[in-house]
Amino acid sequence: MKQLRAASLITAIKTPYTSKGEVDLMTYDMLVKKQIDAGVDGIVVGGTTGEGHLLSWEEHLILIAHSVHKFGDKLLIIGNTGSNNTSEAIKATKHGFAAGMDATLQINPYYGRTSTAGVIEHLTRTLDIGPAFIYNVAGRTGQDLTPEIIEVLAEHKNFIGVKECGGNERIAYYEQKGIACWSGNDDESHDGRHQHGSHGVISVTSNIVPGLMRQLMDNENTTLNTSLQGLMQWLFCEPNPIAINTTLMMTGAVKANFRLPYIALTKEQRQQGYELLNAVDSSDRVGDSLSLLNDDDFNYCV
C-alpha cells in the first residue's frame, strides 16, 4: 500500500491494434518500455485511454496478465477491472489479482446508475478483493462521487485513494483529511501536486511526453506547466482517447488503426496538434517522427 501511495506518475496506457483490429502486443510493449525509461511509477491497463470498454473481458485480462509478466518487476500494474455490473466487476477483479496485478481501478456504475447506498455497496464489494483506486469522473458516469461516498469508502483497509476529476479544490479537501488523491485532469495536475497537495496524476498526456510529466510531478515548474497547457487541452478536444490515439499515430509510435466507434481527429484538428507537438523537443516525444497524416492513412476496425 505504501508503494502504491508513493506513485506520483501513473500512465493510463494506450492499447494499440493491428490492421485487423487485434491487440498489438509488440507495439504495446514498446509503449510501456518508453514509460519505464521515463521513470513512470505505474500504468493503468485497459482504462478509458486503453479502451477497456472496447476490449472483450478475455482481451482485457490477457493484457493485464501480459503486463504483469513482462513489466511487473519494473512498474506498478493497475488493472481497470471496474464495471457498471457488480457481478462482472467482482469476477474481473478477482481474475486480475489472480494474474498478479498490484491494484485495481474501480468506477461507480454508469448509465444504469444506482443510489448513494448502492454505489457504496458496489465499490465495497470490489474493495473487499484487494487494493483499489476509486475513479470519480462524473462527466462519463453521470454521477459524482461526493465526499459523502468517498469518506465512507476511505475507511476500508484496501482503499488506496481517489483518481479525482472534480478539480483541485476537491483534491485539497480530501488531502487535508488524509485521503490520497491523484488528479484525473492533466492540465490541473501540476498545481494539484504542488499547490493543493495531491499525491500525483493518473495521466493521458504521459503517453506522449512521459519525461515532461515526470518533471511536472517531481518539481514545481510553472514555466514547463504553462508551455504544456495547450497540448494537454488539445488532447481533450474530442472525447478521450481520440486525440491521444491520433497523436501516437502522427508520431509513428503506433500503427494508424482505430477500433470503432473511435475515428481520427479531422485534418484541421491534426494541424493544431502538429503545431503543438512540433514545439516539443523530439527527444521528449514518444515516436520517431511527426507527420500530419492524410485522412485515408487511418484504418478502422470493429
Task: State the catalytic residues.
Answer: 135, 163
Using DSSP, state whether 22 is helix, strand or coil.
Answer: coil
Contacts of 271-275 spanning 24+ positions with Cβ under 8 A: 272/234, 272/237, 273/231, 273/234, 273/243, 273/246, 273/247, 274/250
* Region of 72 on the Ramachandran plot (φ > 0 left; ψ -120 to 50 alpha; else beta): alpha
How far is Cα 163 from Cα 181, in angstroms, rounded to an integer?
Answer: 6
Q: Are 249 and 293 in contact (CB under 8 A)?
A: yes
Q: Sort strands 132-136 and 159-164 into parallel, antiparallel or unpaired.
A: parallel
Q: Are 222 and 191 in contact (CB under 8 A)?
A: no
Candidates 280, 266, 183; CA nearest to 224 is 280
From residue 240, alpha-carbon distances to 6, 132, 282, 289 in Å are: 26, 23, 23, 22
Which grid cell is 29? 510493449
